[in-house]
Amino acid sequence: MNVHAIRAIYGFELSRWFRTLGQSIASPIISTSLYFVVFGAAIGARMGTIDGVSYGAFILPGLIMLNLLNESISNASFGIYMPKFAGTIYEVLSAPVSALEVVIGYVGAAATKSVLLGLLILATARLFVDYNIDHPFLMLTFLILTALTFSLFGFIIGIWADGFEKLQVIPLMIVTPLTFLGGSFYSIKMLPPVWQKITLLNPVVYLISGFRWSFYGVSDIGVVTSLFMILAFLVACLVTAWWIFKTGYRLKS
């Protein structure tokens, strides 16, 4: 295992994050704070509790997930797309680095950034809402697994994309709508029965539900099912990444 190479890629990617702290940390924290002000304090104060949890606290796991998914995808996709765009990817491809080491470096860095951001949002939320974490270990597991999975997904998007527009298409057109419709701001039990069934086709529902369970012990879907779904998605992404390096798809062509 080329540990120095993994460390080089990982460190290089993290330093990119620190170079753009305003964009990478301040922007998501400010926008999330606005959500808490509007939905938590202003509107949430006039709403009742959901499953015994105040509305402001109820939306917290969903808001963290929303940022986690977007940041994981955008960090990882941008991280691998830029070397492709600048032509420096050939240095990585010509170096004695295996596909696994490349993935660990890029995806590990993107996931680290997302987890740190998630924890920062969690800390910031303390200023606006009162919440508790019933299962902190499981909360961290969900946070890390989701960050890893979606960073890997972003990495695949970054390889697939052949223009900056494509980098944005999936996060904006698919992931964000799925997150909003995945129970970030409501319990799916509040939907009509037909829509409850349709919503179950949305994979993000499982992530938010499981994550929320780790906070308050309440969820729309069983926590084991949620864990299984995220692991299944992680495996699917791993297989895709393995195939990309095996075939050189959009890397060597």
Identify which of residues 12 and 180 has a Cβ nearer to other proteins in the complex.
12
9 lies in the site for other proteins, by CB under 8 A: yes
Task: Name the segment binding other proteins (CB under 8 A); options: 2-10, 25-33, 45-53, 150-158.
Answer: 2-10
Q: Taking CB under 8 A as the rule, does residue 8 contact other proteins? A: yes
Tokens representing 240 are 């895709």
Stretch that binds other proteins, among 70-78, 95-103, 132-140, 171-179 (CB under 8 A): 95-103
Any contact of residue 11 with other proteins (CB under 8 A)? yes
Name the token pair of 105: 């470096």
Amino acid at residue number 212: R
Report if residue 12 touches other proteins, rule: CB under 8 A. yes
According to the binding rule CB under 8 A, does residue 90 interact with other proteins?
A: no
**Residue at token pair 């799925």:** 178
Q: Which of 48, 86, 165, 246 binds other proteins (CB under 8 A)?
A: 86
Question: Which residue, 102 or 204, is less far from other proteins as judged by CB?
Answer: 102
Count of Cβ atoms closer than 10 Å to residue 76 Cβ: 32
Question: SS3 string of 75-96?
Answer: HHHHHHHHHHHHCCHHHHHHCC
Which residue lies nearer to other proteins by CB, 13 or 220? 13
Residue pair 208/183 in contact by the 8 Å Cβ criterion = yes
Q: Please identify, using beta-carbon distances, which residue of 12 and 186 lies nearer to other proteins.
A: 12
CA distance 229 to 6: 28
Give the largest CA-CA distance in the chain: 60
Q: Which has the closest alpha carbon to 77: 7, 172, 178?
A: 172
167 binds other proteins (CB under 8 A): no
Q: Judged by CB, which is closer to other proteins: 92, or 175?
A: 92
Task: Provide φ and ψ at 50, rounded to 5°.
Answer: -115, 120
- Kindly report each contact of residues 243-251 with a partner whose C-beta sits within 8 Å and lies 24 or more positions away, as own/partner: 244/156, 244/159, 245/99, 245/102, 245/103, 246/99, 249/159, 250/84, 250/159, 250/160, 250/162, 251/84, 251/89, 251/93, 251/159
Write out the binding residues for other proteins, residues 199-218 only, by CB under 8 A.
none
Residue 96 engages other proteins in binding (rule: CB under 8 A)? yes
Residue 197 in the binding site for other proteins (CB under 8 A): no
Out of 82, 144, 191, 200, point to the residue binding other proteins (CB under 8 A).
Answer: 82
Residue 111, interface with other proteins (CB under 8 A)? no
Q: Which of 14, 16, 196, 227 lies at the binding interface for other proteins (CB under 8 A)? A: 16
Give the interface size with other proteins as a residue count (CB under 8 A).
18
Instruction: List residues near other proteins by CB under 8 A.
Output: 2, 4-5, 7-9, 11-12, 15-16, 19, 82, 86, 91-92, 95-97
